[in-house]
Amino acid sequence: MVERLETLSPRHRDIVRDMAIPVLLLGFSETEVADVLGLTSKTVRRCLAELREELERTATSDS
C-alpha cells in the first residue's frame, strides 16, 4: 500500500490524507470533511472520484 502511495502525485497524496482516510477509514461523512476543509460536498466527492480513477489506472499499469 505504501509503495502505491509513493507513485501518486502530491495532489492525490493530499486527497488520501485529507479526504479519503477521514471518509473511508475514520467514518466521517463527506459533508463533515467538506465543512472542515472549507469545501463543498460536491468537491470532496469529485476529488475522491479522481483519486479512485488514479488508483485504478496505477493498478492496471502494474498488472
DSSP letter for 9, please. -
First and final C-alpha spacing in the chain: 15
Please state, rounded to an integer, the average pLDDT across all residues of the chain. Answer: 91
Quick: pLDDT tens for 5-31.
Answer: 888 999 999 999 999 999 999 999 999
Please report which confidence band the pLDDT of residue 38 belongs to, taking 50, 70 and 90 as the band edges. very high
Q: Which CATH class for the 2-62 domain?
A: mainly alpha
- Residue pair 33/22 in contact by the 8 Å Cβ criterion: yes
The residue ranges of every structural domain in the chain are 2-62
Q: Is the pLDDT of residue 43 over 70?
A: yes
